[in-house]
Amino acid sequence: MSSFEQILSSPPPININTSDIAHDLFPFVTVYKNGTIKRHFGQPAMPAPENLNGVRTKDVVVSSHPKVIARVFLPEFLTPGEKLPVLLYYHGGGFCIESALSACYTPYTSSIASACKVIVVSVDYRLAPEHKIPACYDDSWEALKWVVSHASGSGPDPWLNQHGDLGRVFLAGDSAGANISHTLATWAGVKGLESGVKVSGIILVHPFFGNDKPDKLWNYCCSDETGIDDPRLNPAADPDLLAKLACGRVLICTAENDFLSPRGWAYYEALKKSEWKGEVEIVETKGMGHVFHLFNPNCEQAGSLMKLVASFIKDDKVHSLL
């Protein structure tokens, strides 16, 4: 069991006066009747390091209205004109905690850039409950459009202009971020992307999807009332939309001891049964829990997971099991 799952299975602290609580979404957030929102989990933001894991880093504004920031990671020692795939990363945290700028995600996404030799654009979308769903999807879509604006080599960011291969764009994320990656791939299929850019693949690590039961966190964080029939929460609810997934390849990574693992497998089965024409692979890490690679990034299994992601980006065949 991961640290996150230990917290998830623990009761709220006994010193909380429950009469003051309007909404108890422990371990993510507690919303009090006076409007105060307390987050119980997540790491603080850190400044963009000049260099981390052999990767240059900076923060950029990808949208002004609303203001959306992304942290961009560029591997060092590139030759002039060398082009790399571009991977948009969407962090996890139940749509309501964590940040692309945090001390958790900054080292991890820099490691992706280094190990996979890609440009990573890690998106700091707005969080619920202050900003209800679909704010997270809208911000993430703005970031994808910002990346696409560099297709002609004349976008706002010189790193992407000089080194981004917009013919190889990937969407990736863990937990809620994996959910966002899937949803954006369906949006791209329905709305299309300017400049003829296509999404090469999506990488869903320990994805947060719903099942056939109401989800308390989703219902509170979402401005709509579609519940388990919402295809953003439950992709199998709309097979026609699932078939419009705008990529040719999907990699789903689950963990054997993760409480969300069955939902990743259900997504895999729904995608295979749909009219989508791409290739989907699923890989399960034995003996590990939810987002273990974030809590223990130096463990053997985390290293294997990173190699798996790198292999997928290079369009190599991955192994069926870790």
Catalytic residues: 175, 258, 290
For 145, other C-beta atoms within 10 Å of its C-beta total: 16
Report yes or no: 283 and 321 within 8 Å, Cβ to Cβ.
Answer: yes
Comparing CA positions, the residue from 55, 202, 161, 174 lying closest to residue 115 is 55
Q: Which three-class secondary structure state does DSSP give residue 169?
A: strand
- Cα end-to-end distance, the chain, whole Å: 17
CB burial of residue 197 (10 Å; 0-12, 13-18, 19+)? buried
* Element (DSSP H or E) covering residue 229: none
Comparing CA positions, the residue from 45, 59, 291 lying closest to residue 178 is 291
Report yes or no: 322 and 287 within 8 Å, Cβ to Cβ.
Answer: no
Tabulate helix, strand, coil % of the chain (nearest 5): 35, 25, 40
DSSP 27: T
Distance, C-alpha 245 to centroid of its chain: 16
Looking only at the bridges linking them, the beta strands covering 29-32 and 37-39 are antiparallel
Instruction: Give the helix ranges, DSSP H, for the chain.
Output: 3-8, 105-116, 135-148, 158-163, 176-191, 216-221, 239-242, 261-273, 292-295, 300-313
